Every structure is written in structure tokens, then in C-alpha cells.
A and B are shown apart, each in its own frame.
Chain A
Amino acid sequence: MNTVATPEINVKSERRIGNSIRSRMQDVLPKIVLAPSFAVTVIFVYGFIVWTAYLSFTNSKTFPSYVLTGPRAYQRLWRWTFETDPPSSWYTSITNMGIFGLLYVGICLALGLFLAILLDQKIRGEGLLRPIYLYPMALSFIVTGVAWKWFLDPGLGLEQTLHQWGWTSFHFDWIKNKDFVIYTVVIAGVWQASGFVMAMFLAGLRGIDGEIIKAAQIDGATTWQLYRRIVIPMLRPVFLSAFIVLAHMAIKSYDLVVALTSGGPGGSAWLPSNFMYEYTFKRNEMAVGSASAIIMLMTISAIIVPYLYSELREKAR
């Protein structure tokens, strides 16, 4: 534009000013529009992460305190990590996290994929079946927790009903048993999330090019081979998304434990999130609570970041 000579110098300069404002606005406008949400995120997510990290090194009790006292809270957590007889609350929390995390993510992925493959067989009534499986996701964890609490209660739910029907030797009291209560949390969690995972896989399956499958069938691949060698490997990105969604849901499931077990017998159903809440807000040991929150954050980053990194790098290549 400015290479074109114009005889009327006035007009040119005016137009240039107009243009430059316009182009500058085009540059700036997205930034202006994004700035508030950016600032909010920076302050309320990253800012508070930093604040929590700071608090974990202070002597905060009921209220935040800014007197640094070194890594005392971490030392206590470290010590509690190895207290197994009787198990310290922190030991219980992290072992439960291991059990719950592995089973919840594993079973949800397996069951979700299985259901998706079954639904993908062009069966009749799929439009009805799909929402039925997906529906539990629409419930909050609190509702799921309370419903399953009643269902699993030996004096109220499944066991009582089967006794009334005449099967009096039936026995299922996991929810009241300190060694098994965490598995009832897995059951309720899987019930809620596997339909959602199924929907993700179903979308992935529908996205696979039919030509490839036809080609494989012409080559004589059995259905098992077809799925194992072609379909499932092609679902890799879906596995990634499902894993990330499930992993963070596992880490943050607090309400499910509270609603389903109210902490379990003697606190045996605690997850680190329960530990964090209890210590920060109920026991007035804010420093210890903050330290446990930071450890949770570091744990999830240790799992997710390398996974994301490798996946994204592969995509870039």
C-alpha cells in the first residue's frame, strides 16, 4: 500500500493513519479480549499453586501464616509414608490412591472399549442404548455415592434384598470392611465413568476409515486380528484423551469417597484429596494440608507430563 504513490498527500496520510489503527487493532484486539481470562487463570490457578507451595513451608495452622519454618510439613508426610502398623492416615491415603487409580483407569478403559466395540456392530437400537450407558456421567459424584451407599449397605441394599428372596448365605459387606471399602469406591467410580469412555471410543471407532478395514478383511484378517492389529492401535489418540480425563478424575475424586463411605471405617477409604481437606480445614494444620496438595500436584505431573510430551512429539514428527 505505501509503495503506491498517490498525488493527494493529505488523503494518503489520512488513510494510512486509519489503516494503521485498524491493523494495530487487529493485532491488539485478541489480546485485549483474552487478557481478562488470562489474568484470571494466572492468578487463580498458577498464583494459588505458588501460594499453596509457599504455605507448605510455613507454620500455618487455622489461618494462613507467612512465617517460613522450612520443610517441616514434608518431613512429617515423609515419616508418615512409612508408618504401616497401624497405618498412618497418609499411608492409607496414598496406597488407596494407587489401588483406586490403577483399577479405576484400567477398568474404565477396558470396559469402555469393550462396550464401544459391541455397540459398533451396527446393532439395532443403538440410539437408545448409547444414552443409557452414557447417562451415569450426567449424575454428580455425590448422587452416585449416595445411591451406591444405599445399594451396597448390607442392612439395606443388595445383601438384604437377596436375603429376603431366600438366598440367606449371600454375604457382601465390602462397604463396611476396612480392607475392601476402597474397592466399593472403584465400583461406583467405574459405573459412573465407563459410559463416558465408551462414548469417546465409539467416536474414535466411527472415525476409522472403512477402506482400511475392508482391505484387511480382503487380506483375510479375522475379527480378532482386525481389532488387535488395526483398530485398537488406531485408537491411540482416544486412549490418550481418555487416560488424561480419567487420571485427573481419579486424583480429584473427593466427593465420591465422602458420599459413599464418609471416609470409611477408621478412615480406611481416604484418598489424598480427603487427607488434604481434613488437614487443611478440619484439623487446622494448613501447612501439612498444603504440602500434601503440592505432593498430589507433583505426582500427577510426573505421570501426565512425560506421557503428554511423548504423545505430542510423536504427532509433531
Chain B
Amino acid sequence: MRKFLGTAAVAAVMMAGTAAYAADVKEVQMLHWWTSGGEAAALNVLKEDLSKEGFAWKDVPVAGGGGDAAMTALKAMVAAGTYPTASQMLGYTVLDYAQAGVMGDLTETAKAEGWDKSVPAALQKFSVYDGKWVAAPVNVHSVNWLWINKAVMEKIGGTEPKTFDDLLALLEKAKAAGVIPLALGGQNWQEATMFDSIVLSTGGPEFYKKAFNDLDEESLKSDTMKKSFDNLAKIKEYVDPNFSGRDWNLATAMVIKGDALVQVMGDWAKGEFVAAKKTPDTDFLCYRFPGTDGSVIYNSDMFGMFDVPDDRKAAQVALATATLSKSFQSAFNVVKGSVPARTDVPDTDFDACGKKGIADLKAANEGGTLFGSLAQGYGAPPAVANAYKDVVSKFVHGQIKTSDQAVEELVKAIDDAK
């Protein structure tokens, strides 16, 4: 009897063990910070795709828009050796982890699925490390957009601004009509995101690349950069006094409600318009930041793939394949406001702004005018990007008083952080 009990116990333990084991293998553990309504709905598409193939989805969500908290949590998980299957990551972070040797290898899947041809080369710089695919790009956001409330635009009799001076004139009109001209959130990344566009508009594509992707010192301290800061000072005049510390979606809400005319923000702002049941060209307008037509400053959400044990590999491959499938790319990006991370996805389901975004991305990819956003972690490593955000923010809030000083500080800060 005793022996029987013992055997039964052992068997029970073993069965429990295998059961837990099986669940683990058939499970995709995913760390991300897509917790807002639209984003969560978009992720559901992926969850359903995976469950059709028999893989369960386990969220490791960490709230907080920019993902700082999530990155801290991820760092702790990796340090402890418990890798999730995949994690949402941005730009240089992927390369950091790849360098630390904790990323998996998806090259086989990539070859079979033809990612090399369909994913823009600029993106591959971040998803391929040392010849190996380590991440699956989910979308491409572009940063150099103007979002305009159409009703307000009509009220003040404005037209699409073609140059930076046009933009200033338009803002002046709005000011005269008693509307807040520019909705800006006074957080350092929002200010720097706007400055990205200003630099591209002021200096042109070559200059942007040299200064913000290659960190060329001559360009950083050039007169063009000074002029960019001057332009930033000019445009800042059109912000309401209460802007400091405002979240980006609150600034977008000001444009949606018609309290403000325009916001300079990446196309995640379109997600807010869509969530508020607004349609492009009837309720709001999307223009490229004046003087940046033809170029795209991008950032991209990627699913970084960790070096999981072999038995969990199948789930990871399924996740990567599903992520880059055309159906998911289309369905997800329609909701998120961004455009697909592969250039061969049909734009039938997208709205006017989305269609323009897809066409622009394709053109920029072919014309070599697709640049990583410094403000969004695609221009340079985090230490440099944050030093840059510091300088821009201090300039906007008056700790740095002149554009000469700003340029000097920028060179020093970037040098320090390199």
C-alpha cells in the first residue's frame, strides 16, 4: 500500500511537471506597453492569429506610454535569466541586447518569409545584428507630421503651409482668431520630436542625416543648427502658456476638440483621432511638416526575440511569422495609426493619411531619405538621444537662452554621452 502511494505520488508529480512544461512550450510570453484601448485591440488580432496555430498568449504588460518602466522590468528579467519569448523594443535597445548576447536567431524564418526584400533597409539596421535577424518590426511610425483641425482651419481661412514661414504665418492667423495656434506637450521627448522635424525642414535631408544619424560635429555646431534653434524659438511663441508637462495625448485632444489648430507629432497621434471617431480630410488634416516632403523621419516598434530554449522556439517562430504577415501588418497598423513595416502590404484598408504614409515610406526607402528619429531612439544610442532631449528641453524652457549657447551645449552633451 505504502509503495503504491509512493509511486502514485511520484507519477502525480511527474504528470504535473509535464503539464506545466507543455503549457510553457505552447505559450508566447510577451512584454509590451501597449495598454491603451486601441493598442490592446490591435494586439488582439495577433493573439487570435496565434491561437489558431495552437499557441497561448501570455502578457507581461507594463503600463506607461514611453516604455521606460517596461524597459526597467525587462532589464531585471534578463539579468535574472528568465527571458520572455519576445519584448516590444525600440531601436538601439535591440542592438544593446543583441550585443549583450541574449537575443535569439530568426534568420531561417526571415529567409523563408523573404523579410530581407520587404522590410526597408533602414529598419534592418536595427532588426539584424551581426547578420542574424534578432527582431521582428511591427510598424513604422513617422515623426514629421502636422495634425490640423479642419474646422478651425476653415474658420481662419488657412491653407496647407508649404514652407516654414508659411507655417508661422498660419500660426499667426490662428493666434489673431483667438485659437491656441500650436498644441505642444512640454515634455522633453515631445519637444525633441518637434525639433527633429524643424531640423529636417531647416537643413534638408543631407544635413539631418549628418547631424542626427552620423553625429558629425561640424554639422552639429554649424550655422544651420543655430538657425534650427532660432526656428524652434519662433515656433515656441505660438504655444499656450500652460504647456509644460502636458502629455502628448492631451495635446492631441486639444486639436481634436478644436481648442488648438495644429500639433506636430508622430503618427501615433492619428490613433487618437481615429479613437475619437474622426476621419481624415473631413475632420482633420494631415500634412508633412513644411519643407520635409519626400523625407520620412521614422521610428518603429519591434518585437525583440530572445534566445529561448529550443523547445520554446516553435512558439517564437510562430509569433515572428504572424507579426510580419501581411494581414496582421495591415489590421494592426490601421488601428495604431502607423504604416506596415514591409513595403508590399496593400493600402486598401487604410485611410487617406495612412495611404499617404505608406506611399511616403516607399518613396523615402527607395530615395534614401528615410532617417532614424534622434528623439525616438533611432538616431543614436540612448545616452546621446537623452543628452539631445535635455538640451532641446532646456532651450524651450529657458534654461538655455540663446541658440549659440544651445549649439555649444548640444556638442558638449553629445560628446559627453558618446
Does chain B have a CB within 8 A of A220? Answer: no
Instruction: Find chain A residues with CB under 8 A from B394 CB.
Output: 86, 266-267
Segment of B126-134, B195-203, B381-389 in the binding face: B381-389
For the complex, what is the distance from the CA of A284 to the CA of B245, rounded to whole Å? 23
Stretch of B11-19, B67-75, B307-315 that contacts chain A: B67-75
* Chain A hits for B48, CB < 8 A: none
Cβ A265 vs Cβ B383 within 8 A: no
**Contact across chains for A63 and B79 when beta carbons are under 8 A apart:** yes
Please tell me which one of the listed residues A63, A153, A175, A178 contacts residue B397 in the complex, with CB atoms under 8 A apart: A178
Contact A262 B187 (CB under 8 A): yes
Q: Is A255 at the interface (CB under 8 A from chain B)?
A: no
Q: Nearest-CB distance from B65 to chain A (Å)?
A: 11
Q: Which residues 97-119 of B sit at the A interface, judged by CB distance below 8 A?
A: 97, 100
Identify B399's interface contact among A86, A153, A261, A263, CB under 8 A: A86
Asked if B35 is an interface residue, CB under 8 A from chain A, the answer is no
Is A274 in the interface zone, CB < 8 Å from B? no
Whether B390 and A265, one on each chain, are in contact in the complex, defined by CB atoms closer than 8 angstroms, is no
- List residues of B (382-418) whose CB comes within 8 Å of A's CBs: 382-383, 386-387, 390, 393-394, 396-401, 405, 409, 416-417
User: For window 175-191 of chain A, which residues contact chain B by CB distance below 8 Å?
Assistant: 175-176, 178
Contact B242 A155 (CB under 8 A): yes
Residue B188 lies at the interface, judged by CB distance under 8 Å to chain A? yes
Of all chain B residues, which has the CB nearest A76? B416
Assess whether B96 is interfacial by the CB under 8 Å rule. yes
**Chain A 261-293 interface mask (CB, 8 Å, partner B; 1/0):** 111111110000000001001111100000000
State the CA gap A82–B44 with chains docked (Å).
52
CB distance from A41 to the nearest CB of B (A): 21
- Is A62 part of the binding interface, using a Cβ–Cβ cutoff of 8 Å? yes
Given contacts A63-B100, A266-B398, contact A283 B188 (CB under 8 A): no
- The answer to whether A265 touches B100 (Cβ under 8 A) is no
Q: Which residues of B contact A62 (CB under 8 A)?
A: 75, 96-97, 100, 382
- Inter-chain CA distance A173–B75, complex, in Å, is 38
User: Does A266 lie within 8 Å of B399, measured CB to CB?
Assistant: yes
Verify A154–B382 contact, CB threshold 8 A.
Answer: no
Return B243 CB to nearest CB of chain A, in Å.
Answer: 8
Q: How far does the Cβ of A296 sit from chain B's closest Cβ, in whole Å?
A: 19
Name A155-182 residues within 8 Å CB distance of B.
Answer: 155, 173, 175-176, 178
- In the bound complex, CA of A283 to CA of B414 (Å): 12
CA distance A188 to B394 in the complex (A): 25
A61 contact set on B, CB distance < 8 A: 383
B222 within 8 A of A: no
CB distance A265 to B186 under 8 Å?
yes
Known: A86-B409, A284-B96. A267 touches B390 (CB 8 A): yes
CB of A87 within 8 Å of the partner chain: yes
Q: Contact size class for B?
A: 20 to 34
Counting CB contacts under 8 A, is B6 at the interface? no
A89 within 8 A of B: yes
From known contacts A281-B68, A281-B72, A284-B381, infer whether A266 and B245 are also in contact, taking CB-CB under 8 Å. no
Contacts of A285 in B (CB 8 A): 383, 417
B68 and A267: CB pair below 8 A?
no
Number of CB contacts from chain A to chain B under 8 A: 84
Known A-B contacts A178-B397, A262-B245; A89 and B416 likewise in contact (beta carbons under 8 Å) = no
Does chain A have a CB within 8 A of B51?
no
Give the distance to chain B from A230, nearest Cβ to Cβ, in Å. Answer: 48
B241 contacts chain A at the CB level, 8 A cutoff: yes
Q: Which of A25-84 contact B (CB under 8 A)?
A: 61-64, 76
Q: Which A residues are in CB contact (< 8 Å) with B400? A: 86
- Assembly CA distance A264 to B100 (angstroms): 34
* Residue in B75, B245, B383 whose CB lies within 8 Å of A283: B383
A64 to B78, CA, bound (A): 12
The distance from the CB of A265 to the nearest CB of chain B, in whole angstroms, is: 4
Within A242-272, the residues touching B (CB, 8 Å) are 261-268
Q: Are B383 and A178 in contact (CB under 8 A)?
A: no
| Minimum Cβ distance to chain B for residue A189 (Å) | 18
A76 to B413, CA, bound (A): 12
Q: Name the residue on A nearest B100 (C-beta).
A: A63
Q: Which residues of A contact B243 (CB under 8 A)?
A: 176
Cβ of A49 to closest chain B Cβ, rounded Å: 18
> Complex formed: what's the CA distance from A282 to B188 in Å?
13
B residues near A264, Cβ cutoff 8 Å:
244-245
> In the assembly, what is the distance between CA of A293 and CA of B32, in Å?
29
Q: Could you say which residues of chain B place their CB within 8 Å of the CB of A89?
A: 390
- What CA separation (Å) do A268 and B68 show in the bound complex? 20
B399 and A268 contact, CB distance less than 8 A: yes
Nearest-Cβ distance from residue B399 to partner chain A, whole angstroms: 4
Find B405's partner among A63, A86, A154 (CB 8 Å cutoff): A86
User: Given the complex of chains A and B, what is the CA–CA distance between A86 and B392 in angstroms?
Assistant: 12
Interchain CB contact under 8 A, B399 and A87:
yes
- Which of these, B71, B97, B396, B417, contacts A281 with CB under 8 Å? B71
Closest residue to A176 on the B side, CB-wise? Answer: B244
- Contact partner, B245, options A64, A87, A265, A278, Cβ 8 Å: A265
Q: 1/0 contact trace for B240-276 toward A, CB 8 Å?
A: 0111110000000000000000000000000000000
Other-chain contact of A266, B242, B397, B416 (Cβ < 8 Å): B397
User: A283 vs B417: C-alpha distance in the bound complex, in angstroms?
Assistant: 9
Q: Residues of A contacting B241 with CB < 8 Å? A: 154, 173, 176
Q: Among the listed A63, A175, A266, which residue makes an inter-chain contact with B188, where contact means beta carbons less than 8 Å apart?
A: A266
- Inter-chain CA distance A86–B244, complex, in Å, is 19
**Cα A31 to Cα B186 with chains together (Å):** 56
Closest to B395 in A: A266
Q: How far is the CA of A178 from the CA of B416 in the complex (A)?
A: 25
Instruction: Determine if A282 and B397 form an interchain contact, defined as CB atoms under 8 angstroms apart.
Output: no
Q: Contacts A262-B245, A265-B245, A267-B188 known; A281 to B398 CB distance under 8 Å?
A: no
- Sample of 7 more A-B contacts, CB < 8 Å, known A176-B186, A263-B188: A61-B383, A62-B382, A173-B241, A176-B245, A266-B394, A282-B382, A283-B386
Closest A-B pairs by Cβ, 5 of them: A266-B397, A265-B397, A176-B244, A265-B244, A266-B394
Q: Using CB atoms and an 8 Å cutoff, list the residues of chain A in contact with chain B.
A: 61-64, 76, 86-87, 89, 153-155, 173, 175-176, 178, 261-268, 278, 281-285
30 cross-chain CB contacts under 8 A: A62-B100, A62-B382, A63-B79, A63-B100, A86-B399, A86-B405, A86-B409, A87-B399, A89-B390, A154-B241, A154-B242, A155-B242, A173-B242, A175-B244, A178-B397, A178-B398, A265-B186, A265-B245, A265-B397, A266-B398, A266-B399, A267-B188, A267-B390, A267-B393, A281-B71, A282-B71, A282-B386, A283-B387, A283-B417, A284-B382
